[in-house]
Amino acid sequence: MEIYRTEKRQRYLEEYSIGNLFSFPIEEFLEVHEYKRDEWIIQEGMRPDFLFYVIEGKAKIYVTHQNGKVSLINFIKEEDFFGEMELLNPIYYTKGIQASTTMICFAIPFHRCRAKMLEDAAFLRELAKFLSVKSTQMAAKYTQSLSFPLENRLADFILQTADAEIYKEKHVTVCDFLGVSYRHLLYVLAQFCEKGYLKKEGRHYRIQQLNELEGLARVLLNE
């Protein structure tokens, strides 16, 4: 982890202003943190000292269950907050946050800003909006996972993450995210290839029949 100082910090403050999210001057309190790929930004079970706002990069939210299974709850991306649970709730079991690319965040120290933030309607409105979307998404994911087999959820995931017809997510990550075993994921990917929806090219997959995948993903839609 690296904390940007002086000019470098200043550059980020100017380029990615979040002043509009607050009705008090926030800049002076902002730290700019950089995390490397795979670095743990927040350890599971530990309380962070900052509210974070993502400027660049992606991260993953993990939780470990008693039986040792790990769930990838969600991805965090540009313009998301994290650490907001700990800002609002004195008691909270903190999830682990791991950078999946190099990540640059604004870090707002609780000890200097908690009171101000909790009094600021502009900020709280943004935060409530963010939380309402988050909660809606989780509810959607929850009901989808109960109502549809992997086939549908995987099709959706492939479409969301594919880049120019190439799908190349790590199987291990996808298993944690979609909550299925490695074995089963490979079965369903193999089915997609058999049916001609995908074509395996080395360690990647090329989308061959977009329509079919869209059809499978579409039934999830609604909310």
Partner DNA sequence: TCCAAAATATGAGATATCTCATATTATTGT
Partner DNA sequence: ACAATAATATGAGATATCTCATATTTTGGA
For DNA, the binding residues (CB under 7 A) are 149-151, 170-172, 179-184, 186-188, 190, 200, 203
Q: Which does 188 bind (CB under 5 to 8 A by kind): DNA, a copy of itself, none?
A: DNA
Bridge partner residues of 76 (DSSP):
59
Cα angle 109, 58, 221 (rounded to 5 degrees) comes to 115
Is residue 20 involved in binding a copy of itself (CB under 8 A)?
no
Please give the residues from 189 up to 218 whose contact with a copy of itself meets the rule CB under 8 A.
Answer: 218
Question: Whole-number minimum distance, CB 125 to a copy of itself, in Å?
Answer: 6
163 secondary structure, DSSP code: B
Q: Which does 127 bind (CB under 5 to 8 A by kind): DNA, a copy of itself, none?
A: a copy of itself
Is residue 171 involved in binding a copy of itself (CB under 8 A)?
no
With CA atoms as reference, report the closest residue to 103 among 82, 134, 129: 82
Cα angle 166, 57, 140 (rounded to 5 degrees) comes to 70
With CA atoms as reference, report the closest residue to 101 among 77, 80, 79, 125: 77
- Which of 26-34, 103-111, 176-184, 185-193 is the region at the interface with a copy of itself (rule: CB under 8 A)? 176-184
Residues 6+ apart with CB under 8 A from 170: none
* Residue ranges that bind a copy of itself, judged by CB under 8 A: 63-67, 69, 71, 73-74, 84-85, 88-89, 92-93, 95, 118-121, 124-125, 127-129, 131-136, 138-139, 141-148, 178-180, 218-223
